Amino acid sequence: MKEESNNTKKLSLDKKQIILLVFLIFLILIFSVFLYVRKNRNSDTKQDQGEEKIVSELEDEEDLGESLEEENVEEDIEESTPESSKSTTPSKPSESKEPKKPVEEKTPEKPDPPKPLTPREQVESLWTPDATSVIIDSKETITINGTKYLTVTVRRGTLKVGDTLKQTGICGIVPDVSTKVRRMIKAGKLVNSATVSESVGIAMDNDYFYKRATFGTDMQLATKVKLKVYVFTKEEGNSKEQSVVNNQGYLLSFVPEDPSGRTFITGNGTPVISQPIKPGEVAEIEVKKFIMLGGPALYEPGTRIKVKDQNTNEQIGIAVITGYPPCPHK
């Protein structure tokens, strides 16, 4: 019986111990939970403080940037203000600053002046390159169906129906005459135009031209002409060395020449020269008593002229018609 009671006591003590142990475990658990909660609270507080610190630093940086921008704007305003005041209000030049040097304006380069023409070029430059007047040679008169036609050959230019043929007289002594080409036939058929070397029949209103051997759209009958003459040098083919002085030593022939090289008429005359023309020189002269062999020819300013020596038939120079002397009685 005693042994059973002792065991019961032992058991009872064991229960107490168990209860105490459980209680201690419970306390340990509570204490650990408390520590855990406290620790989390401290970490959350630190995290919140760190976030607040970061936010405050960012806000400080934004405030600093805004203040810098405001300072820059104020500086720009301060810098622009004196410039605008300078542009609007005249400022007195400061003695310390050096005066600005005037900007040198670049002058445009002047083109090189043209080279002076040589004596020969002075004559050649006046030649008419393309004559506008027409020259025709007449042959015979024929009548077809009651209409009188003059058979002509075109020597220069183009002759057309409706063209005015005219001839300027000599100082009013020979009258100025003109007529129109009314009709034109070729090989029995009506045509409107004829060019160089073509032979056609033309019907006109003025019978005066039916009697002319040579005429054109702008004829000038001339017994005197004004020329600009250039005398060749020995190197250019002039065998004589003496100057041309009022036809002394020379019998000159002045030959009008078409730009194509065809010669229409030869004229001889006495040159009126006020001063000697040496080889290689150019001079203005007049030719009086111009004898036109073969009938009237077209003489107009710009007509090129060959100057020949009648004794040798050698060309000793060139010339150009520059005009006609005034009529003596006008």
Digit-by-digit pLDDT tens for the chain (330 residues) are 444 455 544 445 577 778 888 888 888 888 887 787 777 676 666 666 666 666 666 666 666 666 666 666 555 555 555 444 444 444 555 555 566 666 666 677 778 888 899 999 999 999 876 656 787 878 889 998 889 999 999 887 889 999 998 877 666 566 778 899 999 999 889 999 999 889 999 999 888 888 877 777 876 666 677 889 999 999 998 888 788 876 666 777 777 776 555 555 555 666 777 778 889 999 998 877 655 544 444 567 788 888 888 788 888 999 998 887 776 544
What pLDDT is stored for residue 217 in this prediction? 80
What pLDDT is stored for residue 246 in this prediction? 67
Question: The domain 135-219 belongs to what CATH superfamily?
Answer: Translation factors (2.40.30.10)
The whole-angstrom separation of Cα 320 and Cα 330 is 25
Fold of 221-323: Elongation Factor Tu (Ef-tu); domain 3 (2.40.30)
pTM: 0.52
What pLDDT is stored for residue 139 in this prediction? 84
Q: What type of residue sits at position 324? A: Y
Residue 200: count of CB within 10 angstroms of its CB: 21
Q: Which residues contact 179 (CB under 8 A, 6 or more apart)?
A: 164, 165, 166, 204, 205, 206, 208, 209
Q: Which residues contact 159 (CB under 8 A, 6 or more apart)?
A: 134, 136, 152, 181, 184, 193, 194, 195, 200, 202, 217
The whole-angstrom separation of Cα 287 and Cα 186 is 40
What pLDDT is stored for residue 201 in this prediction? 95
- Say whether 293 sits in a helix, a strand or coil: strand
- Say whether 102 sits in a helix, a strand or coil: coil
What pLDDT is stored for residue 229 in this prediction? 92
Domain with CATH 2.40.30.10 in the chain: 135-219, 221-323
Identify the residue whose tokens are 């190197």: 235
